[in-house]
Amino acid sequence: MTDDTLLSIRDYNIVYETERPVHAVRDVNLKLQRGEILGLAGESGCGKTTLAYGINRLLRPPAVIRTGSAILHDKGGYDIDINALKVKELREYRWDKVSMVFQGAMNALNPVISIEKQLGDIFSTHRPQMSKADRREESAGLLDLIGVGRDRLRSFPHELSGGMRQRVMIAMALALKPQLMIMDEPTTALDVLVQRDILQEISELRSQFGFSVIFITHDLPLLLEISDRIAVMLQGEIVELGTAERIFRRPDHVYTERLLQSFPSLTGERGGFIRSGNDETRTKDEAIV
Ligand SMILES: Nc1ncnc2c1ncn2[C@@H]1O[C@H](COP(=O)(O)OP(=O)(O)OP(=O)(O)O)[C@@H](O)[C@H]1O
């Protein structure tokens, strides 16, 4: 992979300044490439969400970024110092540059407002010059893109399945063509087949549009399938970072090894699986077994 860095995180430390302070993110250094899917793995409470919130400037007190910087190298050729963004700049940064899909985000849709209105609101807020007809066409196109179909534009969230609603949330996150999409357990609540379908689509969309993804989940087998690289977090630190294949074949850190062993499907006799490769470097011939 050539060096085309989208995001540089340096010496990043986040502490929850509670009575007994929690050092949730420790000395994180990370470079994310443009167009890369980075998987962030690690057990509950290791700091994955805190790190993601830092990147999206969603941290609230008592969380404090103690040290470090997070810089987005915008495709326009300038750098954005995320920690220094002011309120107005933040409005342009979120959704436009970086969007986030949360676990259970589908429940964030307002049940009594149509999908068309909820998608359209993103455009009327961020692209006020856009006509109503263009908003409708863009929204319909997004629904086609994520496999819900434009005929659902007039539907209300309660008329859609959980998988479809989660896809609508992904459509919202894609609406302004951000350079980075952070997905925090975006499919955990869905059944496995729906989850696989959605991940396949995300993988294809990133090939089509070239955005990067930080994908957070406990599900290491899933990460091995969809990620280019995987970062393993333990107690706030990134203890291992490497290509999915290297992590699978030769984990460096004993914790990664334990994590791999905790998924019998990966280590059993019939273990292994085929990556849903979507570029020439990840074809079905490169099954990880
Ligand atoms: N508002 C808060 N106040 C104090 N401590 C917090 C707060 N939010 C999170 N923490 C602590 O920070 C640490 C990191 O939490 P975080 O939610 O980032 O982990 P995580 O890896 O995303 O976990 P999960 O997979 O369960 O979402 C944990 O010890 C958690 O208890």
Q: What CATH number does the domain containing 40 carry? A: 3.40.50.300
- For 219, the domain range is 1-97+179-193+206-250
Per-residue pLDDT band at 63 (split at 50, 70, 90): very high
Ligand 1 mutation pick, 22, 215, 239, 255, max ligand atoms within 8 A of CB: 22
The rounded Å distance from CA 93 to ligand 1 centre is 24
Ligand 1 mutation pick, 15, 50, 100, max ligand atoms within 8 A of CB: 50
pLDDT at 201 over 70: yes
Q: What is the largest CA-CA distance in the chain?
A: 59
> For 112, what's the count of Cα atoms within 13 Å in the CB-facing half-sphere?
0
Q: Which residues line ligand 1 (CB under 6 A)?
A: 16, 18, 22, 24, 42, 44-50, 62
What is the per-residue pLDDT for 197?
82
What is the per-residue pLDDT for 268?
54
3 vs 274: CA distance, rounded Å = 27
The rounded Å distance from CA 45 to ligand 1 centre is 5
68 vs 92: CA distance, rounded Å = 22
What is the per-residue pLDDT for 108?
85
Assess whether 34 and 164 both reside in one domain: no
Q: Which helix (H) or strand (E) holds 141?
A: helix 132-145
What is the per-residue pLDDT for 273?
45
Assess whether 284 and 270 both reside in one domain: yes
Per-residue pLDDT band at 105 (split at 50, 70, 90): confident
Residue 239: inside a domain: yes
The rounded Å distance from CA 282 to ligand 1 centre is 34
Assess whether 183 and 168 both reside in one domain: no
Residue type, 147: G
pLDDT at 289 over 70: no
**Residue with CA at minimum distance from ligand 1 atom 28:** 45
Per-residue pLDDT band at 130 (split at 50, 70, 90): very high
**Residue with CA at minimum distance from ligand 1 atom 26:** 44
Helices 162-174 and 192-209: crossing angle in degrees, nearest 10, is 20
Residue 49: inside a domain: yes
Assess whether 91 and 187 both reside in one domain: yes
Question: Would you state the structure tokens that stand for residue 32, as one six-digit string?
Answer: 């994310």
pLDDT at 193 over 90: no
The rounded Å distance from CA 47 to ligand 1 centre is 6
Q: Is residue 172 a contact partner of residue 117, using CB atoms and an 8 Å limit?
A: no
Assess whether 126 and 138 both reside in one domain: yes
Assess whether 88 and 212 both reside in one domain: yes
User: Average of pLDDT values for 175-195?
Assistant: 87
Residue 114: inside a domain: yes
**How does the average pLDDT of the chain come out, rounded?**
89
pLDDT at 100 over 80: yes
Percentage with pLDDT > 70 across the chain: 91
**Residue with CA at minimum distance from ligand 1 atom 30:** 45
30 vs 228: CA distance, rounded Å = 14
Residue 265: inside a domain: yes
What is the per-residue pLDDT for 240?
97
User: Average of pLDDT values for 198-213?
Assistant: 89
Assess whether 92 and 188 both reside in one domain: yes
What's the distance, Cα to Cα, between the start and end of the chain in Å?
Answer: 23
Q: How many domains does the chain have?
A: 3
211 vs 231: CA distance, rounded Å = 18
Ligand 1 mutation pick, 12, 28, 46, 232, max ligand atoms within 8 A of CB: 46
Assess whether 187 and 92 both reside in one domain: yes
What is the per-residue pLDDT for 199?
84
Assess whether 166 and 183 both reside in one domain: no
Per-residue pLDDT band at 275 (split at 50, 70, 90): low
User: Average of pLDDT values for 259-264?
Assistant: 85
Assess whether 159 and 142 both reside in one domain: yes
What is the per-residue pLDDT for 267?
59
